[in-house]
Amino acid sequence: MAHAIDYARSYDLFYILSLNPMSHSEPSIEQVMQLVKELPIASQHILLSALSAELNSQETDVETQEWLEADLGEDLPPYEWGEEGILQGKPVRYVLGRGLVVEGSKDLAG
């Protein structure tokens, strides 16, 4: 009986996502996550397996496939920086809510 309930909850999740009564817009990640959290753990694992299989079955373009199959374990030749050598950058700091800012700049003041 518990398996039938799990199946029904999984079906409800997929049904809700496929119908989506919210003016034909896609559900937000938060909405999907809330629905997934309401599923029993076994159904969550089934859903994860199904999503993984779906993502793995999608075809990739030639360039992406070449990158995925590339042997990146070899040492690469050194980069040629030119006559000036490696350019000197300015020190930066991460400021929450603002991102990276250059040390000593006016952006850090306010």
- Whether residue 19 is predicted with pLDDT greater than 60 in this model: the reply is no
pLDDT value at position 67?
85
Binning pLDDT at 50, 70 and 90, where does residue 7 land? low
Domain boundaries along the sequence of the chain:
2-60
Rounded to the nearest integer, the mean pLDDT of the chain is: 78
Angle at 30 between CA 48 and CA 51, to 5 degrees: 20
The CA distance from 108 to 30, in Å, is 33
Binning pLDDT at 50, 70 and 90, where does residue 8 land? low
